[in-house]
Amino acid sequence: MGTTTLLSFFTLPVSTALGVPRAAFTLYTSIMSLMVIVSMPFWGRMLPRIGIRAMVAISGAGLSYLAMSQFTALWQFYIAGIVVGFTLPACSFLPASVIVTNWFEKRRGTAMGIAMAFTGVYAALASTFLPGMIMKTGWPAAYLFLGMVVLVLTIPIAPFLRDHPSKMGLQPYGARKETGTPGPFAAPSGVSAAVAYRSGAFWLVCAGLLFGHASIIGFIQHAPAHLTSKGISPVEAGTFMSLCMLSLIGAKVILGWLNDRIGTVGSNLVCLPSAPLRSSCLPGWAGRRSSPASARPCSLPMPSATPTTVSFRRC
């Protein structure tokens, strides 16, 4: 998941090399995001059929990044956006969400926050050297690096994944002692998916996630190119993005803990005041040359820094 954050560093060098407008090039990331939305229900239905290990292993995101290093035309990136967007949920947030949900009954929010925080660790570290790598070795070599990292972090660990502790004769953390052992996809309590789809609350959650993540992804995808256009070096822009990712590490863990303590609504309300503060700092460095340090307030934690997990029982 952290790899998608790093794609923003390729915007200026690749669009310049291809001789296309920046907006035309970044369209492939929009295609990628749309395909994630389209493919999530598909992978959700495939998970019980093929298992989590097979789903992670067959993901083609890493191979797509390797292929990007050989692209010479804009339409090729659009095709890659379709492939990456379609396969990305299979090796990122969907299996992570399922594993944490099945393995933890208590402190589930904290566990999810810790799991998601590691995406920030990877992105924070890579943001410090990837811009320099692109400048020295070129963007094709950097795409090769990203592809290899994705493959190393997915294929070798796939055989060790277990979607439910019952497959190892264990119980979820904090589970009550009950007779019998629940299956890996045992139906949780609550309403069915069909009932949820007809409820206004479900679509309000979807709308909140849509607007929240749209603002986050839009900022991440365009901030490095914007900073560079204002006279900041790519390395400094990478430092700024690293600060943003470092803030998310703590934010995700804290929000996960708050979810366990005061619930999802309460934890989001706690973080809402940071939104206007982040927005108020943007005009100060949007129209002049700024330093990464002056933009630190923009990396304040946001309510949607921790993903929301929703479980439905079968109809």
Q: What is the pLDDT of residues 228-268, one digit of tens each?
A: 777 778 888 888 888 877 777 777 888 888 888 887 777 77
Mean pLDDT of 156-167: 82
Q: Indicate the pLDDT class of residue 179, thresholds 50, 70 and 90.
A: very low
H helical segments located in 70-164: 74-87, 93-103, 108-137, 139-154
Strand partners, 171: none
Rounded to 5 degrees, what are φ and ψ at 180?
A: 85, 160
Count CB-CB contacts under 10 A for residue 281. 17
Q: Is the pLDDT of residue 182 over 70?
A: no
Six-digit token string for 314? 């079968």
Higher pLDDT, 136 or 251: 136
Mean pLDDT of 191-207: 79
Do the Cβ atoms of 310 and 195 come closer than 8 Å? no
Percent of the chain as helix, strand, coil, to the nearest 5? 75, 0, 25
Nearest 5°: the CA angle 24, 30, 32 is 120
pTM value is 0.75
- At residue 18, the pLDDT reads 92
Six-digit token string for 12? 């200026």
* Class of domain 2-168+191-305 (CATH, top level): mainly alpha
Query: Of all helices (H) and strands (E), which one includes residue 227?
Result: helix 200-229
SS3 state of residue 173? strand
Do the Cβ atoms of 123 and 6 come closer than 8 Å? yes
SS3 state of residue 107? coil
Q: Is the pLDDT of residue 270 over 60?
A: yes
Q: Where are the domains of the chain?
A: 2-168+191-305
Name, in order, each residue with C-beta under 8 angstroms of 281's C-beta and a sequence gap of 6 or more: 295, 297, 298
Do the Cβ atoms of 77 and 24 come closer than 8 Å? no
Q: Is the pLDDT of residue 301 over 50?
A: no
Q: Indicate the pLDDT class of residue 189, thresholds 50, 70 and 90.
A: low
Q: At what angle do helices 200-229 and 11-18 cross, to 10 degrees?
A: 70
- At residue 313, the pLDDT reads 39
CA distances from 257 to 94, 112, 128, 143, 251 (A): 20, 9, 28, 35, 10
- Range of weakest confidence among 13-27, 71-85, 145-159, 190-204: 190-204
Mean pLDDT of 113-119: 81
Percent of the chain with pLDDT over 70: 79
Do the Cβ atoms of 7 and 220 come closer than 8 Å? no
- At residue 141, the pLDDT reads 93
